[in-house]
Structure 1
Amino acid sequence: MSALATQTITAFNQPAYDAAFRTASIRAQHSFFDQHIIEDDEAGFIAVDEGDYNALTQEMIDRIVYTVEGQMDDDFDAPLYRSTAGIDLDFDAEDCPF
């Protein structure tokens, strides 16, 4: 590797990336918005909730290294099996008192 390449490539901060990934994954479970892992000059990597900003600036978009999709469903979009799980609706009409 040339001397120029070793001077321009920054060291990868694995602990900072792991912490940002863990934070983004946990937030995504409870958010409608995507969670982005962004390179940061001071912290190495940070997790950013897309919903915290009106619109991400182009500079922030250029620094995104990974995105975790928001995993929260709207009540109207939730699959039917989630709302009826564990409920037994089978009954005999003759046994029903009303």
Structure 2
Amino acid sequence: MNALTKTLEIPAFDPISYDAAVRAATIRAQHSFFDQHVIEDEFGCFLAIDEGDYNALPQDLIDRIVHSVPGMMADDFDEANIARAASFMSVVMDPEWDADCPF
């Protein structure tokens, strides 16, 4: 065998686990301040991880990220774009209370 030749064993793409991981990351991102990442493990399967679970992600996880979904929760005081922050909140109006309110 030639010393310059190396056989790489690349696992086949698994579309079912990829789709499941992307769906899980998208759903989790709606209720998280942290980004959700889809990573590929050494067996070719895909997993969704929450960036908040790991503090700063180690380099080996960063290298395996294949898709990211930004966290979608926003604090109304921290968000520079208040319209975006307000879009994540639901507000209930009480007309009777508003009519009695002195201010």
For normalisation by structure 1, the TM-score amounts to 0.71
Runs of 4+ in 1 over 2 A off after TM superposition: 7-10, 77-87
- Check whether the contact 1:16–1:43 (CA below 8 A) recurs between aligned residues: no
Name stretches of at least 5 consecutive residues in structure 2 with no aligned partner.
Answer: none
Please state how far the C-alpha of 1:46 moved relative to its aligned partner: 0.1
Please state how far the C-alpha of 1:68 moved relative to its aligned partner: 0.3
Name stretches of at least 5 consecutive residues in structure 1 with no aligned partner.
Answer: 90-95
Please state how far the C-alpha of 1:8 moved relative to its aligned partner: 3.7
CA distance in 1, matches of 2:40, 2:32: 21
1:60 maps to amino acid = L
2:51 maps to amino acid = E
1:56-77 residue CA offsets vs partner (Å, 9 max, x unmatched): 1100000000100001011312
| Residues 1-98 of structure 1 mapped to structure 2, 5 A cutoff | 8-42=9-43, 44-76=45-77, 77=79, 78-79=82-83, 82=87
1:6-28 residue CA offsets vs partner (Å, 9 max, x unmatched): x6432100000011001000000
Point out the structure with max Rg over C-alpha: 1
